[in-house]
Structure 1
Amino acid sequence: MATIPSLPGRDEVLRMARNTTDITGQLLDTAQNITRIAINTFDPRDGSGPEVLRVLRETTAELAEASASPQAQEAFYRIVDTLTRLGTTGAPLAVHPVSEPVRALLAALGDSLLPVLDAVEPAVEEFATALGELVEATSPLLPAAAGLAAGTLLALTPLIRAATGVLRDSTPELRRIADALTAALAPLMPLQVTLAERAAAAGAGAVRATLPPLADLTDAAAATAKAARPVLIAGEELFVSGLERLQPALMAAASHTGSVARAVAVRVSAAVSPAAEQGVVVAVSPA
């Protein structure tokens, strides 16, 4: 069986990332020069024919100079080199024997999921619309939620840094743990595969034996629900009518509770503020 090709090491990835960063900076400088050239070309203050021809000639010359500069040539060369290295690293994975079942799995998933996606598309659109309306209605709470999230991240940052330092200092121990787990689990894998095959066969037999009674039960439940539909509708109507009758009482109770809370807050504020003016009595009666 062919072995899985090794992934690039940490130093190789860091070097490629630095090369990509340098190339990106050089390309941004080149793009800035090209943008300046385009702005000069389409400047509305230079609208005459000879002036446009002169600007076009200068543009062509500057483009030729920019593309022929050592910096641009080096940037292009390093881009090609990086892409070549990435392709060389990923090419064995594309022709690896594991890729064939993966492609078959993706094809089967695509063929099976397309009808499901077509069926749920209206529901998904309706849900997305309702979710957008909900987000718009709760937009006043978003700044508070963002502040809470930022505070939580700031509180977790020291813990993450401390954990990173501990893990970095414990690299030999982690490697020993990984080697011990690998040595302990490797002999068990063939046994697990055999047990999985037996479990799959038993599960398939159980499913085959269970599906016919389940289909009968589903038909009976559907018939029962169809017969009891008027009763269910009447119960829903009764429940909704009860909620409509309770709504005024709930709103009055909520208003009364809010008034009491405001009164308590005012009294507590007056009690814990000794700097307030003496002789001023604040009394709030609940509505």
Structure 2
Amino acid sequence: MATIPTFPSRDDVLRMARSTTDITGQLLDTAGNITRIAINTLDPRDGSGAEVLRVLRRTTAELAEASASPQAQEAFYRMVDTLTRLGTSGAPLAVHPVSEPAQALLTALGDSLLPVLDAVEPAVEECAAALGELVEAMSPLLPATAGAAAGALLALTPLLQAATEVLRDSAPELRRIADALTAALAPLMPLQVTLAERAAAAGAGVARASLPPLADLTEAAAATAKAARPLLVAGEEILVSGLEQLQPVALAAASRAGRVARAAAVRVSAAVSPAAEPGVVVAVTPG
């Protein structure tokens, strides 16, 4: 015989009523916030709501018109066809036997390059920092360089347009050239492969025979350089000392050349300037 469920107590009823009231209040607050956002967005007094609706209508209409054109439909069909072909032809590559040696090669390259990258990391960081400082120091030249590049591009634009027109008009001749080259080179490919295999075998033999003498020569050169290191250091010190002695002379010569150039520029400007006052002679004597 089924038992009769007990009635909830007064505290349980109050707790359920309070929980229901809280949940209802939260729902009403959320609905009020959503309504307030919608009113603020679409408020016709502000003008933003009407502008948003107008932009949405115009964008939707333009997208619909553009997507309904025959050119867009053809482009969509071509994109789908291309993606289908890529998926059909590229999917077998993942399970092809050739992919296994390629993956092994990539793994070996990664394992071999990681120690090298760890070793050269400090040098690369210093070089990058020096390069950043160099670029920052050359920043005044960047506008002039950009202007020169823009001028060069503008000068090349007519040439590129003329070349494009010539190539477009000569499409049949280009196809004939391509067909002729293909017909001439296709029979030579097997011969080239055979010659490449023979050359690879001969090169491998030469490399095996020349590596031991090259190692001996390298060791001898290293020993010679180690023995001649004091002479090299002394020669570098002499060269640096000579440059330090020539620096004041070069600075003085450059300064004098600058003064002479400024004086000549002033005299030329005074001679050719139509706005110069009569009876006034400008003369600068280089000091």
TM-score w.r.t. the length of structure 1 is 0.69
- State the aligned residue count: 228
* Structure 2 residue aligned with 1:93: 90
Partner Cα distance (1:185, 1:98) in 2:
29
CA distance 1:109–1:167, change in 2 (3 Å) = farther
Secondary structure class of the residue paired with 1:279 = coil
Find the counterpart in structure 2 of residue 54 from structure 1: 32
Aligned equivalent of 1:23: none
Aligned residues of 1:263 and 1:284 also touching (Cα < 8 A) = yes
Deviation, structure 1 residue 206:
0.7
Aligned residue number for residue 209 of structure 1: 209
For residues 52 and 258 of structure 1, the distance between their equivalents in structure 2, rounded to whole angstroms, comes to 77
State how far apart, in whole Å, the 1-side matches of 2:242 and 2:136 are. 30
Equivalent position of 1:276 in the other structure? 276
Q: Distance in 2 between matches of 1:154 and 1:169?
A: 23
Opposite residue 95 of structure 1, the aligned amino acid is: P
Determine the structure 1 residue equivalent to 2:232: 232
Distance 2:128 2:103 in 1: 31
Extract unaligned runs of 5+ from structure 2.
1-26, 42-59, 68-72
Aligned CA RMSD, in angstroms, stands at: 3.3
How far off its partner does 1:171 sit?
0.8
* Deviation for aligned residue 1:234: 1.3
Q: How does 1:257-276 map to 2 (within 5 A)?
A: 257-276=257-276
Structure 2 CA distance, aligned partners of 1:51 and 1:265? Answer: 80
**1:253 maps to what in 2?**
253
Name the SS of the counterpart of 1:284 in structure 2. coil
User: Which residue of structure 2 lines up, in the alignment, with residue 194 of structure 1?
Assistant: 194
Per mean C-alpha deviation after superposition, the further-off stretch among 273-282 and 49-58 is 49-58
TM-score by length of 2: 0.69
> Contact (CA 8 Å) 1:93, 1:99: kept in 2 or not?
no
Q: Deviations over 1:157-211 (max 9, x none)?
A: 1111111111111111111111111111111111111111111111111111111
Once the two structures are TM-superposed, the CA of residue 146 in structure 1 deviates from its matched residue by 0.7
- Aligned equivalents of 2:79, 2:36: Cα separation in 1: 33
**Residue 109 of structure 2: aligned partner:** 109
Identity of aligned residues (%): 70
| 5+ residue gaps, structure 1 | 1-48, 63-70
Superposed CA deviations along residues 20-77 of structure 1, whole A, max 9, x for unmatched, are xxxxxxxxxxxxxxxxxxxxxxxxxxxxx966642346779x9xxxxxxxx7xx99xx
**Greater relative contact order, per chain length (Cα 8 Å cut-off, separation 6+):** 1
